[in-house]
Structure 1
């Protein structure tokens, strides 16, 4: 099987252009019947594509982080590990990292890249919210890295107590307690420079009500 990505390619410019990190844009989340399948992923997936297209058009740095394991999930020997259609890294201009745990920082090369490029701003989008995105945002916060979560450029799995949309809304509010959160429209709507977070109230971040929740 042809590899979906090649390790350690591309170039990230330190402390210059904004960086868009697309995490776990993998088929595990879009293939019906797979354990991690997200039933309501379509809206966020379309927004992620608009975000990626905008970053490329503005000549931002782009990094793709893939979860790679030897078990039944995210296994390179299966087609479900592959990038979702439309989200493959460009061969010469975009960086690719592999990780073995939820956080992108579990990739040593990703962690080094992030340390080298501070204080330039980084935007994080991808799947799923309560796994890779939350863990990566926490790690960035602990390291003092300027990482902004694109809240509606992500989605989360349902829990026993809440559906996908409700779970993700709660996740967005948890992240907001320690990091900046923006919407895709805020990023793509910027004519130049970088988008910064909306007001603390976060009105209209998502197309649905946001639950009040705080990280403990």
Structure 2
């Protein structure tokens, strides 16, 4: 089993947007909202250790259907949710997203698909320095898991934040954590990730 090394890591916070998180929004995920404090711990810890923070934003359009199979599964998305140019695609205030952070706009569950994420990871800390992706956010069983599998296929080590991901149910959460542990990476607690960030910052100063 590989070791978690923060000096070659990046933190990816998946789809923590207002339309996914806030009460009454079209794609509300209560578990994701409840875990904002845990996610904020990771964001703050990453910043303090010099680990890049990347936010994804799932974006749909009114002018045409950019994700037709997604909207076929959930027809609500034909008319509302994560619309370009609306506050629904904004990252929730509780995570303190900043201009100096990095942002990836996507139209599929997998944050690597037709986005700049892989190029960003291969350059953000120097040429191919990042080999580990810490994944937090929502939905655990959809975009987080799809992105984790895609990262694994690209030979990135996957550190999946079990306490800082939010699913639609505890059953779905457990199923994804089991799949990641068995096949695609390591499920780590916040304490393990934060300790890794601290150790990495200490090592970088030597």
Question: TM-score, normalization: structure 2?
Answer: 0.75
Distance in 2 (alpha carbons) for counterparts of 1:46 and 1:87: 8
Structure 1: 5+ residue stretches without partners: 1-14, 158-163, 195-216
Match for residue 45 of structure 2? 54
| 2:73 aligned with 1:78 | no
Distance in 1 (alpha carbons) for counterparts of 2:105 and 2:120: 13
1:47 match: secondary structure: helix
Which one has a larger percent helix, Structure 1 or Structure 2?
Answer: 2
Select 1:113's aligned residue among 100, 114, 120: 120
Deviations 1:50-106 (A, max 9, x none): 111111111211111111111522112332211101335322x32111111111102
Structure 1 residue runs of 4+, over 4 Å off?
Answer: none
Match for residue 130 of structure 1? 141
Question: TM-score, normalization: structure 1?
Answer: 0.72
Deviations 1:158-210 (A, max 9, x none): xxxxxx1222112111111221111112112343128xxxxxxxxxxxxxxxx
Structure 2: 5+ residue stretches without partners: 1-5, 63-79, 202-206
Q: How do residues 30-179 of structure 1 correspond to structure 2 at under 5 angstroms?
A: 30-71=21-62, 72-91=80-99, 93-116=100-123, 117-118=128-129, 120-157=131-168, 164-178=169-183, 179=185
Alpha carbons of 1:16 and 1:185: their partners in 2 closer, same or farther (altered >3 Å)?
A: closer
2:24 match: secondary structure: coil
Report the aligned-residue RMSD. 2.2
Asked if the contact 1:16–1:120 (Cα under 8 Å) also holds between the matched residues in 2, the reply is no
Distance in 1 (alpha carbons) for counterparts of 2:57 and 2:31: 21
